[in-house]
Amino acid sequence: MLALDILTKVLAVKLLPPGQPVPIIGDTVTWTLVRNSGAAFSMATGYTWVLTLIATGVVVGIFWMGRRLVSPWWALGLGMILGGAMGNLVDRFFRAPGPLRGHVVDFLSVGWWPVFNVADPSVVGGAILLVVLSILGFDFDSVGRRRPDPATPGRREADGDTGRRKADQH
């Protein structure tokens, strides 16, 4: 993901006129080169250094989690986030106007959606995958789904013929 993101941004900067849409599918899908100093959807413009530090923290956190990572699905989701975050960090560190303040290159425009780059859907897709895995009970440090803990308070356990919770008996 990182290599693809860097390659596509280099090509976009080299081949596309800044701010002028180049049609791919009519006016609905275009190549549109913009420099984004903010986060997704151009939020937090002017806080590029804060976004850089947050993204750096995310990358460090993913590497730290990787030591205990067992689930291949969590590895996929975290890898998608890691590749995308690192792709945008390369821009923040090495593009103008300077280190920690660099603007991210965005170049894909689809309909009314804000202009984005290859890294952005990777981060979003990875985050969605992690949410789904969490909801379905997949932990990052095990291969399968977590099993319910029989000692969980409030869990209904049949007590003879009454079917009452053990907590209700005391």
Q: What is the residue-level pLDDT of the chain in tens, covering all 170 positions?
A: 999 999 999 999 999 999 999 999 999 999 999 999 988 767 788 888 899 999 999 999 999 999 999 999 999 999 999 999 999 999 999 999 998 889 999 999 999 999 999 999 999 999 999 999 999 999 988 887 777 666 655 544 444 444 444 444 45
Domain membership of residue 166 (yes or no) is: no
* Residue among 106, 139, 159, 168 flagged as catalytic: 106
Please spell the DSSP secondary structure of 130-157, one letter per residue: HHHHHHTTB-TTSSSBPPPPTT-TT---
Query: What is the model's pTM?
Result: 0.81
Contact 85, 58 (CB under 8 A): yes
In a domain, 128, yes or no: yes
Does residue 56 lie in a domain region? yes
The residue range of the domain holding 137 is: 1-10+40-146
Tally of domains in the chain: 1
Q: Provide the pLDDT for residue 154.
A: 54
Give catalytic status of residue 149 as yes or no. no
Q: What is the pLDDT of residue 149?
A: 65
Indicate whether 27 belongs to any domain: no
Q: Does residue 34 sit within a domain? A: no
Q: How many residues in total does the chain contain?
A: 170
Tell me, yes or no, if 120 is annotated catalytic: yes
Q: Tokens 């002028």 label which residue?
A: 20
Q: Which of 120, 149, 161, 168 is catalytic?
A: 120
The answer to whether residue 31 sits within a structural domain is no
Domain contains 53: yes
How confident is the model at residue 43, as a pLDDT? Answer: 74
pLDDT at 148: 66
CA distances from residue 123 to 22, 30, 119, 151, 167 in whole angstroms, order as listed: 25, 21, 6, 37, 44
**Residue 24 covered by a domain:** no
